[in-house]
Amino acid sequence: MSTQPNIVLILADNLGWGELGCYGGGILRGAPTPRIDALAAEGLRCLNFNVESDCVPTRSALMTGRHPIRTGAMQSIPAGLPQGLIPWEKTLAELLRGAGYATACFGKWHLGDTPGRLPHDRGFDEWYGIPRTTNESMFTTTPGYDPKVVPLPYVMEGQAGGAARELHVYDLEARRRIDGELTGRTIDFMRRHAGRKPFFAYVPLTQLHFPTLPHRDFDGLTKAGDFADSLAEMDHRVGQMIDAVAELGLADDTLFVFGSDNGPEFRRPWRGTAGPWTGTYHTAMEGSLRVPFIFRWPGRVPAGGVSNEILHIVDLFTTLAGLGGAAVPTDRPIDGIDQLDFLLGKSAKSNREGFVFFIKSELRAAKWRNWKMHLVWEVEPNDGPIHLESPLVFNLLQDPKEETAIGTEADINWVRSPLRRLILSFQNSLKANPPIPPGAPDDFLPKAAS
């Protein structure tokens, strides 16, 4: 068994907590998910894995181990403008490549679309996918779209040390094909490096992001519509990658990580579900924060594990870097916590008790143990956020849908104290290490690093 395991990190897009069979969905959503369900049964299935409010901030948190309020990568902005991660940030791919890994990104990047900020410039040996997001595939069929004003979206590829190439327009037909292409490229990458050096395959799939359209091979498969067909396709793609690792004889030496970047879609006709939780992405509700997360490593992670311990997406940066033998940067605040002992079953408890939650630059909520405090209340995206004079606090075990705040009951009100201390500690950290402003230029250096 290798001391540096291969790592396959699959990140679904806008996959809600309630879509997969192993999280209460599957056939209830019109599409069984047997391959992902089996992956969960062979490893650890987490019930309290938390992410950011939408695509960009979660991907930033994953790649840097830092909350997006620190990195300035808090939202998507139009093509060609400064966005995503400035070169000063250190990515997980850079750390793992420095530790001897072959690294590749196959899928949606969304952390910068200009030279110097694309995946092959940020630690990945190779990249194939889209620089921004899937809904751009709708541009060419949208009435009034003018490519002279807004550039055509392209599927691209790049190799470290070279310039990225635009391969073909990312239109609706390309949208249907792309996850199959990402899977094929991932399998080819694994085959090329099997037995030669450890590999890190980061596979940010495009399903189930709108427009949620399946590959033609899956169109009509479930008889339950495009969304269910796309869910069935995603399950199949994950299964293809699992099978490839087994065929290469690498199952025991390969860590599979499967998760989602945020809660479900809220747009019709592609409305997703967060299962027992309220809300969708772009909010601070549990339906936005909690997403599926599966961690499988045969012989190392006990099979059949289920946990409600709190984890956060930033923890993957620190945990996977350490697992791969890479040193985490010490010249900047790192919010990620090493969770390897917990994930391997050596500890029943997570090393994390809570976290703060921002949407863009606004502090919206904080979680601590089984409690949640909302400072801003918004159940549905664009529903008109209410800035609360008295924050609402919920016991998530007793009230998972966040319907009845605890008020000021004397026997419960003590919980405001640890929540407030958690918030204050993070705010003091931001004062000591001022955040990178959104849209910062390539040569920007944070105050602490200048």
Residues belonging to the active site:
55, 110
Question: Token digits for 329?
Answer: 């940067």
* Angle of the 226-247 helix axis to the 34-41 helix axis, nearest 10: 50
Torsion over CA: 340, 246, 126, 55 (sign)? negative
Question: Residue 66 in 3-state DSSP?
Answer: coil
Hey, which bits of 309-423 come out as E strands? 311-312, 354-359, 362-368, 371-377, 386-395
Is residue 305 a contact partner of residue 422, using CB atoms and an 8 Å limit?
no
Partners of residue 387 on adjacent β-strands:
376
* Angle of the 226-247 helix axis to the 172-193 helix axis, nearest 10: 10
**DSSP assignment string, 309-327:** --EETHHHHHHHHHHTTPP
Give the angle 100-102-108 at the CA atoms, nearest 5°.
Answer: 135
Distance between CA 235 and CA 372 in Å, rounded?
Answer: 32
Distance between CA 213 and CA 107 in Å, rounded?
Answer: 16
**DSSP assignment string, 88-141:** TSPPHHHHHHHTT-EEEEEEE--S--STTSSGGGTT-SEEEEESS-GGGGGGGG
